[in-house]
């Protein structure tokens, strides 16, 4: 039908064709700039054994685990707070959510300036309040990781709060009334009612957070540039370097096919674990 034709053309030309092309490129020696494309399968796929790639996989998984836990807890706390029927609630919600209106690149740049030792205000604040000495925010591998998690939490917590709020609002009020009549306290209500009923929403949040973190690129490219000493190179950053710095599109494509397969597997496992039990 003519009405769906534009959508079909875009999906076919810019999604299905590239998807196939990606497999094709991964089977060839394919330099970025010039030169012949010769069939060399499965040589490109051997790049998964590179030390840098292996390190990137480990780092990305670690980053994903930390980010998902921290982000979920903060977002959940925000949602519970923003859910309470109180004055100024709208203003608080908008404030928590505001960073999500900024781009990930802009957010990374803001924190790049914040974390800078001479320009940024954080160490001045620490000094003035005598909380601690100056911190090298992105100068050591651990600090670089945690500072990035902090930035991502700031950027995404409000976004996930909004997802959780839609789930919270879907819980009928009389369930809570019944619990109150039965004398259930706040903690009991949270554990026995809110969390179980929120399962699909929490599942959605986890899947989005895990997929997003596994594919992390902007934040590490801009904030840490993979440093110090390549300690914060993520899988996607490594693929980018392989393809566009080392000019090897074949290897880059092979590695991204590997990531695609891994991510699909991970998502299907998550769906299975988090699926409502009924």
Partner 1 sequence: MSVTTIRSVRRGHSARRVRTGRTVAYYVVSTVLAAVFLFPVVWTTWSSIHGTQATGSGGGGVGVDNYRRLFDYGEGFGRYFANSVIVSTLTVAGTVAISLLGGYAFAYLPFRGRGVLFIAALAILMVPYTTLLIPLYILLQWLGLQNTLVGLALVLIMLQLPFGLFMMRNSFEALPAELEDAALVDGCSVWKVMTRVLLPGVIPGLVTVALFAFLASWNEFVAPLIFLSDGTKFTLPVALVNLRSGTFGSVDFGALEAGIVASAAPCVLLFLFLQRYYVTGFSAGAIKA
In the region spanning residues 231 to 260, those forming contacts with partner 1, defined by CB under 8 A, are: 236, 239-240, 243-244, 249, 252-253, 256-257, 259-260
Give the list of residues 6+ apart from residue 112 with CB closer than 8 angstroms, or none.
222, 223
* Residue 198 sits in the site that holds partner 1 (CB under 8 A): no
Residue 204 C-beta: closest distance to partner 1, Å: 5
Task: Answer yes or no: are the C-beta atoms of 155 and 209 closer than 8 Å.
Answer: no
Q: Which stretch binds partner 1 (CB under 8 A): 41-49, 59-67, 150-158, 191-199?
A: 150-158
**Which one of 35, 103, 134, 185 is in contact with partner 1 (CB under 8 A)?**
103
Binding mask 14-53 for partner 1 (x = CB under 8 A): xxxxxx-xx--x----------------------------
Residue 69 C-beta: closest distance to partner 1, Å: 19
Q: Which stretch binds partner 1 (CB under 8 A): 50-58, 64-72, 176-184, 214-222?
A: 214-222
Residue 101 C-beta: closest distance to partner 1, Å: 4
**Which one of 41, 58, 264, 269 is in contact with partner 1 (CB under 8 A)?**
264
**Which one of 215, 227, 247, 274 is in contact with partner 1 (CB under 8 A)?**
215
**Which one of 113, 178, 195, 246 is in contact with partner 1 (CB under 8 A)?**
113
- In angstroms, the CA 34 to CA 249 distance is 11
Give the list of residues 6+ apart from residue 105 with CB closer than 8 angstroms, or none.
218, 222
Q: Are strands 28-29 and 38-39 parallel, antiparallel or unpaired?
A: antiparallel
- In angstroms, the CA 239 to CA 252 distance is 5
Q: Which stretch binds partner 1 (CB under 8 A): 48-56, 95-103, 138-146, 188-196?
A: 95-103
- In angstroms, the CA 245 to CA 232 distance is 17
Distance, CA of 218 to chain centre: 10
Residue 114 C-beta: closest distance to partner 1, Å: 6
**Which one of 263, 266, 270, 274 is in contact with partner 1 (CB under 8 A)?**
263
Applying CB under 8 A, the site for partner 1 has a residue count of 79
Both ends of the chain: CA-CA distance in Å?
A: 39
Buried b (16+ CB within 10 A) or exposed e, 108-120: bebbbebbeeeee
- In angstroms, the CA 22 to CA 52 distance is 22
Longest Cα separation, the chain: 76
**Which one of 59, 63, 111, 220 is in contact with partner 1 (CB under 8 A)?**
111
* Residue 65 sits in the site that holds partner 1 (CB under 8 A): no
**Which one of 58, 73, 101, 195 is in contact with partner 1 (CB under 8 A)?**
101
Distance, CA of 206 to chain centre: 10
- In angstroms, the CA 139 to CA 151 distance is 15
């Amino acid at each position: 039908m003519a009405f769906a034709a534009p959508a079909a053309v875009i999906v076919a030309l810019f999604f299905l064709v590239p998807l196939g092309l990606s497999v094709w490129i991964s089977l060839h020696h394919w330099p970025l700039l010039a030169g012949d494309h010769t069939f060399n399968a499965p040589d490109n796929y051997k790049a998964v054994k590179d030390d840098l790639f292996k390190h990137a996989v480990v780092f990305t998984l670690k980053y994903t685990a930390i980010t998902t836990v921290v982000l979920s807890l903060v977002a959940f706390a925000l949602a519970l707070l923003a859910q309470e029927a109180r004055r100024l609630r709208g203003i608080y919600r908008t404030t928590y959510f505001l960073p999500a209106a900024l781009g990930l690149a802009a957010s990374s740049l803001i924190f790049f300036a914040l974390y800078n030792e001479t320009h940024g205000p954080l160490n001045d604040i620490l000094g003035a309040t005598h909380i601690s000495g100056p911190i090298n925010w992105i100068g050591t591998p651990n600090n670089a990781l945690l500072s990035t998690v902090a930035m991502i939490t700031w950027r995404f917590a409000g976004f996930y709060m909004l997802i959780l709020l839609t789930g919270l609002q879907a819980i009928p009020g009389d369930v809570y009334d019944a619990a109150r009549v039965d004398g259930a306290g706040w903690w009991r209500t949270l554990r026995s009612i809110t969390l179980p009923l929120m399962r699909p929403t929490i599942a959605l949040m986890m899947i989005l957070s895990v997929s997003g973190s596994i594919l992390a690129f902007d934040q590490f490219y801009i904030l840490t540039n993979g440093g110090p000493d390549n300690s914060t190179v993520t899988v996607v950053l490594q693929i980018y370097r392989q393809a566009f710095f080392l000019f090897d599109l074949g290897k880059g494509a092979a590695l991204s096919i590997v990531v695609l397969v891994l991510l699909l597997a991970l998502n299907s496992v998550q769906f299975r674990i988090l699926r409502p039990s009924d």
